A = this chain, B = another copy of it.
Amino acid sequence: MTETSAAPPARIPGTEPHPDSALDGVDAWWRAANYLSAGQIYLRDNPLLRRPLEKSDVKARLLGHWGTTPGLNFIYAHLNRLICEQKRNVLFITGPGHGGPANVANAWLEGTYSEIYSHVGRDEEGLRTLFRQFSYPGGIPSHAAPETPGSIHEGGELGYSLAHAYGAVFDNPDLVAATVIGDGEAETGPLAASWHSNSFLDPAVDGAVLPILHLNGYKIANPTILSRMPEEQLLKLLEGYGYRPYVVTVEDPAAVRQAHEDFAAVLETCLAEITAIQEPYRTGEKTAMAPDVPGADAVEQHAPRWPMIVFRSPKGWTGPAVVDGLQVEGTWRAHQVPLSEIHDNPEHLAQLQEWLQSYRPEDLFGADGRLVEEVARLAPEGDLRMSATPYANGGRLLQDLHLPDYADHAVKIDHPGSERVSPMFNLGGYLREVIRKNPSNFRIFGPDETASNRLQAVYDVTDKAWQQRIDELDEHLARSGRVAEVLSEHLCEGWLEGYLLTGRHGVFNCYEAFVHIVDSMFNQHAKWLKVSRGLSWRQPVASLNYLLSSHVWQQDHNGFSHQDPGFIDHVVNKKAEVIRVYLPPDANTLLAVAGHILDSRDRVNVVVSGKQPAPVWLDPEQALLHVERGVGIWDFAGSEGAGPGARTEPDVVMACAGDVPTLETVAAAALLKEQLPELKIRVVNVVDLMALQDPKEHPNGLPDRDFDTLFTTGKPVIFAYHGYPWLIHRLTYRRTNHDNLHVRGYKEEGTTTTPFDMAMLNQIDRFQLAIDVLDRVASLRSTQASFRQYLQDERARARQYTRDEGQDPPYITGWNLQEAEQDTPG
C-alpha cells in the first residue's frame, strides 16, 4: 500500500470513463429518489403531478429537512450500482438523520417499503400514502428511525453514526458500512473520537467502514468547521485520523454528469482498496503482528490506512436555487423547507411545481404510478438491497448465546457470609467461558476499566483488540480480541449499540459515575427499542447490558468526582418494558443476574456491583431463586425465625438494595439482635429494583398484596439503598406502607476517604441504621437511650480511628479491604 499524498486526485488516474448507460441509470435513480423526497416533504395529494399543483395538494404543515437529502440520495444511487455489480453486503448509515426522506424514498424505490408496509403500495395510491404519512400526525417520523427499513441509526441527536458503523462491522467480515457523516455531526465530540475506531478494527475478522464525510457546508444556521477550514488542513486531519481521503467536489450544481463520473470513480477505488487491504489478512499473507522491533515494516505495525470519501456537494442540491431573491441552494437556507409559503405565496407554489417537474416524474413513473422498469431493475436483489439487508434488522441474524453452567461458577458457602468473594472477579470467570463458547458474536467494551473492574479472567482466553504498535512489555494486546478498551465511554456505547443492532451480544463495563457520559446515547437507544418493539417486522435483538462497578461506595482511590449513582434514576425515566435495574447483593446473585440479562432481548439492563471481596450471602440455589423473584426476606439476617407460622408481623422491616447497603443492613440487624433479642426484625433484600414499582407502572412490579406482605402495612421500614434515596420513594409512593418508609442512601457527601467513612458520611452505616430502628420503633424510642448512646459512641470511635490511622477500623467486620484495593488499578 502506498502512502497517501497530501491531496489525492478526485479522479483516479487510469480509470476509464463510465459507459453513459450505467451513469444514466444512476442519474435516473437519483432523480426518482429526489422526487420522492421532495414529495414527502410537500405533497398530500397529486403525487405524480397529473394535474397542475394546487394549494390543497400541499400539506398544511411543511416539516422536513431537504438540505442534506439530495446528497444522501446521490450516494445511495451510486452504492446501488456497485452492489449490483459486486454483490456486496452494504449497510447504509445515515448520519444526517434529518435526511429521513432519502432513506424512505430509496426503500420505496427498492420495493422494500411496500413489502414491509403493505398499505403503502408500489403504485400511485401508494405514493400518495407515502407522501402524506411523512412527518404527519399518525404517520412516520421525519428522521431515519426504527420505522425506516434498512436503518440501525436514529439521526436525531447526531454524533454516533461512525461508532455505530464500526460496531456493526465487528465480526462481520463481509460487510461494508457506508457511513454518511454530516458536517454538522462532524463537529461533535463523539464523532471526532470515532474516527480512531480504526485502531480497533481487525482486517482479518471484521468488515470495513467506508466513511463518507458529506460536506455541504452548513449546520442549521452556520457554516461548519470542517467545511471551512483550508482543504489542505482538512486532508491532514483525516490522514491524521489514519484514513486515505478521496475528495469529490461539486462546484457547479449543474455539472451533474461530472459529479456522477467523479463519484463513481472514487467509490470504485475505495471498494477496491478495501478488498486489497482485507485480502492479505484473510489469506494469511499478513498475520497478527509481532511486537514492534526496529527495522520491521512500518505499515504492518499499524492500522491499515482505510479509504474514505470527502463529498462536497451543495446543500439542497437540485432544489430551488433562489427564493424571494435570496440564494437558497448551496446555503444554510436550504436546511429545512426551501419554499415555505406555499399556502400564501402563489410564486412559491409555482416554484414548487417547477422544482418537482424538474425531476421529470413522467419519465420515471408509469401510468399506474409504478416505477418504470428501466429504473426499478437498478435495485439490487433481495437481501442485498440496503433497505432490506438483514444487518439492519439484527434479530434476523441473532444466534442465542451458549451460556456456561451457572453451577460451575457459583460460590458454595457453609452459611451466609462464610465466604468472601469479589463479585466482579467471579463474574470474570463466567464471562471467560461465555467468550470461549461464543467466539464470534460476543464482545466486551470498556473505557480502559475491564481489569480495574476485576474482569481480568477473560484475558485467559482472549485479548484486547489493538491495531497500533504493540510493544514487548504490553500484556494481552493483539490484533484480534474480544475486548475493546478505549478511553471513551461514547465509543464503547456506540460500538456496542452497533454490534447489538446487527444481531450480536455484548456487555459495556464502566465506572458507575462516568456512565452518565452516555446518558443521552442510552436515551436514544431506549427510545429505539421502545419503537422497535412495536414493529412486528423488526426481530428482537439482544439487550444492551451495562455492568457498572467501581461504584459510589468504593471510590476511596478517587473521591467525590467519581461518586454518582444517578444513572439508575436516569434509566427509570424510560419506558418500563424496556428497562431493568439489578443490584445484586453478592457474587452468586450477580452471576444469576448475568445469565438472566445475557439471555434477554430488546431491553436495557443496568447491573451495579462491587468489585472488592465481600461476603457471599446466598448459596447458589437461593441466589437463582432470589433473582427470579426480585425481592425476598432474608431469614438468616432477621429475627422473625423461619418456617411456617414463624412470620406473623415483624416490629420493623430493614430493607436493602445494593451490596454495600446490604452488608450494613445485615450488620445493623446483627447489632440489634444481640442487644434486643425480643425485637422482631425482618430483613428484605431487593435485587430487581423494578419489583418495588407499582405493577401498573412496570411489568416486574410486585402486586400490592405481595408488597404489603413483605413490607407490612404499618410497620416502620428502614431502607438502605445504593443510590439517591428519593428514588425509592418515587418507586413506592403508591404503596400502602409508604408513609412509614425511611430511606438512607447517597446524598452527595463524599471525598477521597475509606469505604466505611463514606458510609458514615452518608449515614448509611450499620450504627446509623440501628439508631434509625431505635428512633422509628415506638416501643424502643424511650427505652433504649443507653443502647442508642452506645451506637453513637461506636460511630464516633470509628470516625476517630479512621482519621488517626488513615484506614477503616479493622474491628469493623467486612471492611478490612486493604489487600484487595492495592492490586486493583483505577
Interface residues of A in 611-628 (CB under 8 A from B): none
Interface residues of A in 470-503 (CB under 8 A from B): 471, 473-474, 477, 485-488, 490-491
Q: Does A225 contact B (CB under 8 A)?
A: yes
Whether the Cβ atoms of B237 and A822 lie closer than 8 Å is no
Measured between beta carbons, the chain B residues less than 8 angstroms from A757 are 137
Closest to A342 in B: B822
A531 in contact with B560 given A61-B807, A222-B485 (CB within 8 Å): yes
CA distance A413 to B141 in the complex (A): 38
Chain A, interface SS category: loop
Whether the Cβ atoms of B236 and A527 lie closer than 8 Å is no
Q: Does A730 contact B (CB under 8 A)?
A: yes
CA distance A466 to B228 in the complex (A): 10
Measured between beta carbons, the chain B residues less than 8 angstroms from A219 are 448, 487
Measured between beta carbons, the chain B residues less than 8 angstroms from A449 are 220
Q: Does A436 contact B (CB under 8 A)?
A: no
Q: Does A353 contact B (CB under 8 A)?
A: no
Whether the Cβ atoms of B187 and A487 lie closer than 8 Å is yes
Whether the Cβ atoms of A196 and B188 lie closer than 8 Å is no
A570 in contact with B566 given A137-B753, A729-B733 (CB within 8 Å): yes
Can you tell how many copies of this chain the complex includes?
2
Cβ proximity bits A129-158 to B, threshold 8 Å, 1 near / 0 not: 000100111111111010000000011111
From B60, B341, B564, give the contact of A807 (CB < 8 A).
Answer: B60
Whether the Cβ atoms of B59 and A806 lie closer than 8 Å is yes
Binds B, one of A11-19, A238-246, A424-432: A238-246
Q: Does A221 contact B (CB under 8 A)?
A: yes
Closest to A236 in B: B240
Whether the Cβ atoms of A562 and B220 lie closer than 8 Å is no
Whether the Cβ atoms of B464 and A222 lie closer than 8 Å is yes
Q: Does A88 contact B (CB under 8 A)?
A: no
Whether the Cβ atoms of B474 and A223 lie closer than 8 Å is yes
CA distance A237 to B777 in the complex (A): 66
A228 in contact with B805 given A137-B757, A189-B488, A574-B748 (CB within 8 Å): no
Give the residue among A141, A189, A520, A523 with the most B Cβ atoms within 10 A.
Answer: A189
Interface residues of A in 150-194 (CB under 8 A from B): 154-159, 184-185, 187-194
Whether the Cβ atoms of B60 and A471 lie closer than 8 Å is no
A223 in contact with B468 given A137-B803, A185-B487, A753-B137 (CB within 8 Å): yes
From B143, B191, B738, B754, give the contact of A558 (CB < 8 A).
Answer: B143
From B137, B228, B569, give the contact of A570 (CB < 8 A).
Answer: B569
Whether the Cβ atoms of A825 and B221 lie closer than 8 Å is yes
Q: Does A408 contact B (CB under 8 A)?
A: no
Whether the Cβ atoms of A331 and B224 lie closer than 8 Å is no
Measured between beta carbons, the chain B residues less than 8 angstroms from A235 are 240
Q: How far is the CB of A296 from chain B (nearest CB, A)?
A: 12
Whether the Cβ atoms of A221 and B520 lie closer than 8 Å is no
Q: Does A255 contact B (CB under 8 A)?
A: no
Closest to A192 in B: B192
Cβ proximity bits A508-530 to B, threshold 8 Å, 1 near / 0 not: 00000110110110011001001
What residues of chain A have their CB less than 8 Å away from a CB belonging to chain B? 44, 59-63, 97, 132, 135-143, 145, 154-159, 184-185, 187-194, 196, 199, 219-225, 228-230, 233-242, 298, 302-303, 327, 331-332, 335-337, 340-341, 448-452, 464, 466, 468-469, 471, 473-474, 477, 485-488, 490-491, 513-514, 516-517, 519-520, 523-524, 527, 530-531, 556-562, 564, 566, 569-570, 573-575, 724, 726-727, 729-730, 733, 738, 748, 751-754, 757, 802-803, 805-807, 818, 821-823, 825-826
A-B contact pairs, 26 of them (CB 8 A): A60-B806, A61-B818, A61-B821, A97-B561, A135-B752, A137-B754, A137-B806, A138-B753, A142-B557, A156-B559, A188-B193, A188-B487, A188-B488, A192-B193, A199-B228, A219-B487, A223-B474, A225-B486, A236-B237, A240-B241, A340-B823, A514-B520, A519-B570, A523-B564, A726-B730, A730-B730
